[in-house]
Amino acid sequence: MPRPARSDQQIKDMRQRLCEAAYELYKAEGYEAVSFRRLAAHLGISHTLPYSYFDNRDELFAAVRLDCYQRFLMAIRGGDPTQLGPVARLYALARVILNYAMENPADYRLMFAMHQPPLARYPELLAIRQAAFDYLVAIVQQGVDAGLIKGEARTVMHMAWAAAHGLMTLHAAGQLVHGHTMDELIEPMLQAIIGPLFGNEPEHQS
């Protein structure tokens, strides 16, 4: 058996290099600008070599999106004040998430853009989204159990997620109707939308 196959590490490295190059190019010049040929040129390899590492362009972007989700999930976990009560935690996490979206609009667009191959085709993407969602649902459930939050945890979380998602999406797409910046909107949003869902009086320690 001559010439051993590339080691897993080599494959992983090249995939990583392609992902990073794609991510940078995407942030710099947008989705359309990212082509295998440009990535290959940038990495100094043949324009068809990427096909040895990703089936096609969609698969490459799925990997880039997975990286985005991982960073997103890390930001959520890292910004979770676990020592606080569930309602205060949810408020804090809402701020973390909204801030993350504001500071990384390109990431947010990539994670949640429409006009993309159906998510159902990428189980690993579904899984990590589900993980992020479940992480939050678990906290809501604690609030429900403690009598601080009314309703079924998953439904409540869905509502809150949709509300936050709407705001972030409008922001990331530059579609906020004039007259408000995100900064002006985040606090009212938390009070008006997240607030009623999670209990109007957060035990916050500002």
Return residues touching DNA (CB under 7 A): 1-6, 14, 34-38, 45-49, 51-52, 56-58
Candidates 2, 83, 115, 206: give the one binding a copy of itself (CB under 8 A).
Answer: 115
The structure tokens 């991510």 sit at 23
Rounded CA gap, 97 and 186, in Å?
11
Instruction: Give kind and range of the element (H or E) at residue 153.
Output: helix 153-172
Structure tokens at 133: 């969602």
Q: Are 101 and 108 in contact (CB under 8 A)?
A: yes
Nearest-approach distance from CB 13 to DNA, in angstroms: 10
Residues numbered 20-79 forming contacts with a copy of itself, rule: CB under 8 A: 30-31
Nearest-approach distance from CB 56 to DNA, in angstroms: 3
Q: CA angle, 104 as apex, 100 and 110 as ends, to 5°?
A: 110
Of 26 and 53, nearer to a copy of itself (C-beta) is 26
Pairs from 74-78 (Cβ < 8 Å, separation ≥ 24): 75/100, 76/100, 76/132, 76/135, 76/136, 77/135
Length of the chain: 206
Of 146 and 162, nearer to a copy of itself (C-beta) is 162
For the window 72-111, what string marks contact with a copy of itself as x by the rule CB under 8 A?
-------------------------------------x--
Nearest-approach distance from CB 165 to a copy of itself, in angstroms: 4
Which positions lie near a copy of itself, rule CB under 8 A?
30-31, 109, 112-116, 118-120, 129-130, 133, 151, 154-156, 158-159, 161-167, 169-170, 172-180, 185, 188-189, 192-193, 195-197
